[in-house]
Amino acid sequence: SAVISQKPSRDICQRGTSLTIQCQVDSQVTMMFWYRQQPGQSLTLIATANQGSEATYESGFVIDKFPISRPNLTFSTLTVSNMSPEDSSIYLCSVETSGSYFETDTQYFGPGTRLTVL
Amino acid sequence: AQKVTQAQTEISVVEKEDVTLDCVYETRDTTYYLFWYKQPPSGELVFLIRRNSFDEQNEISGRYSWNFQKSTSSFNFTITASQVVDSAVYFCALSVTQGGSEKLVFGKGTKLTVNP
């Protein structure tokens, strides 16, 4: 499996500011994903980030609020812009790796970034 | 609709008890994959298993076992002789195909507490 790191691991931010979360993988991967997990809730996919193309956002998430960069095959960033207390969540990146079954891979997750917005 | 239902919100057991976590799914895909992930209090999501829709054989890995039944659209997870370290939130997930790409749809999770 891939080794995935995220920075920062946690942060407390003021309303109206922005935070950029970094996701680093120890091997080259094609697909990276960003998820949000609100307190006590399940995971919701924000967007899919493929290297060399624009990120694909899920319904309810927009690029102005959550801009994503994917400059190479081992790195991605997610920015949470103009934050409000409702953005307090765990943000997780995941990568898709090849498994023993054809066509469908397994997603492995980073340790997450715990964001609190005051 | 393509979704995953984990009806058990929270389960509490005493150490050494066996416990089964339920997962029921809905999908229109004929080929799909099911997953279980564990999220301990530290927050990271740990991959446990992936199951192909064509493979209904039960899987056993140490104290963990999984029962996949297409007839009831269920993919249940049993922990035998539970331990305190098993305390975590467990998520069942389904891969779905949307817009030509594979995505994961998660259930709401089951919080398991194993008491000493």
> B88: which chain A residues are within 8 Å (Cβ-Cβ)?
none
- What Cα–Cα distance (Å) separates residue B61 from each residue in A90, A99, A115, B48, B81? 29, 18, 35, 10, 13
User: How far is it, in rounded angstroms, from Cα A70 to Cα A30?
Assistant: 10
For residue A55, report the phi and psi dihedrals to the nearest 5 degrees.
-65, 150
The helix/strand/coil state of B72 is: helix
Give the integer Cα–Cα distance in Å for A79 and A63.
9
Contact B78, B110 (CB under 8 A): no
Taking only the tens place, the pLDDT of each residue in B92-114 is: 999 987 666 678 999 999 999 99
Give B41-97 pLDDT, tens digit per residue.
Answer: 988 999 999 888 888 888 889 999 999 999 999 999 999 999 999 999 999 999 987
Q: How far, in Å, CA of A82 to CA of B49, rounded? A: 38
CA nearest B95 in A: which residue?
A104
The answer to whether A101 contacts B109, with C-beta atoms less than 8 Å apart, is no
Amino acid (one-letter) located at B63: R
pLDDT in tens, B15-44: 999 999 999 999 988 888 999 999 999 889
- Looking at the partner chain, which of B31, B35, B44 has a beta carbon nearest the beta carbon of A111? B44
Q: B50 touching A, CB under 8 A?
A: yes
Q: How far apart are CA A33 and CA A35, in angstroms?
A: 7
Give the pLDDT of residue A19.
97
